[in-house]
């Protein structure tokens, strides 16, 4: 009886341990794929971003609105444009959330990057450019 209990415990432990390993393996794969994965929307690619946003305008605004000042060199940990590892987990929060964070501010990221005059649609174009 006691041995059976022990066996059950060992088995349970192994199951939990294994599912943990599996969860971590999934996490790794997900992180790599997250750059293209909007959890609540469709899988995104540069092509799908181009359909919805104006990446050329986004790039111009990125430079003229002052985003480049921090984001080009990763100042204060700002994610760099096109840097898939930095954007992957952020995109996992959902497009709406990262847009809201850019508008309202997020940790060291000032609201609208400190540029009050920038519009919501400009911000979305800029983010699409940075993510692509
Ligand atoms: C003063 C420096 C600075 C400027 C200027 C700046 N950012 Fe940021 N930004 C940051 C930092 C730092 C982070 C990372 C914040 C964090 O994850 O803690 C960030 C993060 C972000 C994120 C990710 C938000 C998230 O939810 O993970 C977006 C989107 C963003 N910035 C957009 C912009 C846009 C658009 C502009 C220009 C209008 C801009 N930023 C200008 C510093 C800046």
Does residue 46 belong to any structural domain of this protein? yes
Question: In this structure, is residue 21 part of a structural domain?
Answer: no
Round to whole Å and give the CA distance between 113 and 105: 7
Model pLDDT, residue 41: 47
Dist. CA 12 → ligand 1 center (Å): 44
pLDDT the model gives residue 35? 47
pTM over 0.85: no
SS3 at position 106: strand
The range of the structural domain enclosing residue 82 comes to 35-131
Q: Which residues contact 67 (CB under 8 A, 6 or more apart)?
A: 61, 113, 126, 130
Position 109 in a domain: yes
Domain-located, residue 63: yes
> What pLDDT sits at residue 94?
82
Give me the pLDDT at residue 11, please.
Answer: 60
Query: How does pLDDT run along the chain (132 residues), one tens digit per residue?
Result: 577 776 766 666 655 555 555 555 444 444 445 444 544 444 567 888 888 999 999 999 999 999 999 999 999 999 999 988 888 888 878 888 999 999 999 999 999 999 999 999 999 999 999 998
Total structural domains within the chain = 1
- Indicate whether 28 belongs to any domain: no
Mutate to test the pocket of ligand 1, among 65, 70, 86 (most ligand atoms within 8 A of CB): 70
Q: Residue 38, Cα to own-chain centre: how many angstroms?
A: 8
The domain that contains 53 carries what CATH number? 1.10.760.10
How close is the Cα of 65 to the center of ligand 1, in Å? 12
Question: Computed from CA positions of residues 116, 109, 44, 54, in that sequence, does the dihedral angle turn out positive or negative?
Answer: positive
User: What pLDDT, on a 0 to 100 scale, did the predictor assign at position 20?
Assistant: 55
Asked whether residue 5 is assigned to any structural domain, the reply reads no
**Is 82 part of any domain?**
yes
- With 0-12 / 13-18 / 19 or more C-beta atoms within 10 angstroms meaning exposed / middle / buried, residue 130 is buried
Task: Say how many C-beta atoms besides its own lie within 10 A of residue 21's C-beta.
Answer: 10
In a domain, 24, yes or no: no
């Amino acid at each position: 009886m006691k041995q059976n209990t022990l066996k059950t415990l060992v088995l349970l432990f192994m199951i939990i341990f294994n599912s943990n390993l599996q969860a971590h393996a999934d996490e790794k794969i997900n992180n790599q794929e997250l750059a293209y994965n909007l959890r609540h929307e469709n899988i995104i690619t540069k092509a799908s971003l181009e359909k919805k946003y104006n990446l050329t305008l986004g790039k111009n605004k990125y430079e003229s609105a002052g985003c480049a000042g921090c984001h080009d060199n990763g100042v204060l940990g700002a994610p760099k444009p096109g840097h898939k590892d930095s954007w992957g987990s952020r995109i996992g929060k959902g497009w709406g959330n990262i847009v809201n964070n850019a508008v309202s501010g997020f940790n060291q990221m000032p609201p609208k990057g400190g540029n009050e005059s920038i519009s919501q649609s400009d911000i979305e174009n800029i983010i699409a450019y940075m993510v692509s």
